[in-house]
Amino acid sequence: MDETAARSTPLTMVSGVVAGDDLDQVASSASSALGRPVAIAIPTLGEPVVCPSGALREHDVRAIVAYAAAVIRGEAPGPPAILAEAVEVRLGPEVVGIVAAVRRSGDGDAGPELRAWLEAGAAAAAVAAVMRDAQEGGLERSRRALLQSLRAGPPAEVPTFVEHARRLGFDLSSGAVAICAEEQTTGSAPALGDLVAGHRALIADVGDGRLCGLVPLGSSVSGDGVEELAAELTSRGMQVAVSTPHRDPGTLHDALREAEVLIELDVTFVGQEETYRLLIGILLRDPGQLEDLRAHTIAPLTVYDTEHDTELLGTLEAFLAHHGSTTDTAEAMSLHRHTVGYRLARVQEVSGLSPYESDGRERLGLGLKAHHILDANLRLPDL
């Protein structure tokens, strides 16, 4: 037993955390005392802590994390073969993780000393979790980490994700509406604390002047309250987009993506918002369908424009924006009506679709929307 273990006892581990020890030091004390690797897995606090560092292979660490997630869900699977024993980490009645000791060659049944150290480690880990959340800025960092993880992809463990949000004060079990806002002028974003307290929105600054958040469904701010939050952000000079309601917490990544794609779209939505939302839904379910729509409508125009230095796509877009009026299109583009007519004739020749006929115009319009959505999606950060 080394000097650290000699100074530590199961009874002093909690007081050590109160004095400033972190989870690494808790794991180190238990590992030194027991003479074997110790792992602490609390999913809401990020990656597991293993001491000594590098003592476990990656697939063993993943097995411990998966076991911790199962224990949190209330399941009772057998522990991974690598573990001698594991103890739940509890905050009140709720299980938030595990502290586990690794099996040694020739280990028999776990003894009382092993159990005592793991129970002390679990108590210390629970205190560390509470103190980390209570640190200055800790809750804001936790909100940001949760939303950044959700922006990157759907939660691997939906119950763990919902529990993490609940610990931050938000019940997402019935789903949520996503909201995204972007500064139009520097310093226009309101204080996040005011938004969280005043609107009960799980919201965070995700960088580059952008706020992302979730308004839980079934809360007092659902429905009209979402519009109130959007109105406040707009009044602060921010561009705002709101997703459709998503009632399955497992789809809240899609909700955030929907809101962010809407923010990225540099188009006017008048009378077209529902069509854009339907196409964004296709993007989220099967982006290949949107690629096909673009390929069979306006993609030949973009190729032609590139090869011949023309503006067929821009002329088509202006023509559709002016409700099929060549006169208004010509005026908006400072062109002669005959020039617009010539370009639209070339649009039909190149694409095979007539912008003058309702079916061709509708398909070309959908292709343009698909083009805008795919480009907006590409502009979003790859987290």
CA distance 162 to 158: 6
| Tens digits of residue pLDDT in 321-378 | 999 999 999 999 999 999 999 999 999 999 999 999 999 999 999 999 999 999 999 9
| Tens digits of residue pLDDT in 190-236 | 666 666 656 678 888 888 888 999 999 875 444 557 888 888 888 88
User: What whole-number percentage of the chain has pLDDT above 90?
Assistant: 49
Q: How is residue 204 annotated by DSSP? A: E
Return the pLDDT at 383. 55
- Max CA separation in the chain (angstroms): 92
Closest CA to 347 of 319, 307, 375: 319
For residue 162, count other CB atoms closer than 10 A to its CB.
19
Q: What is the mean pLDDT of the chain?
A: 86
Calculate Rg over the CA atoms of the chain. 28
Structure tokens at 28: 């180190």
* 184-188, 235-239, 265-269 — most confident range: 235-239
State the number of CA atoms in the 13 A half-sphere of 260 facing the CB: 29
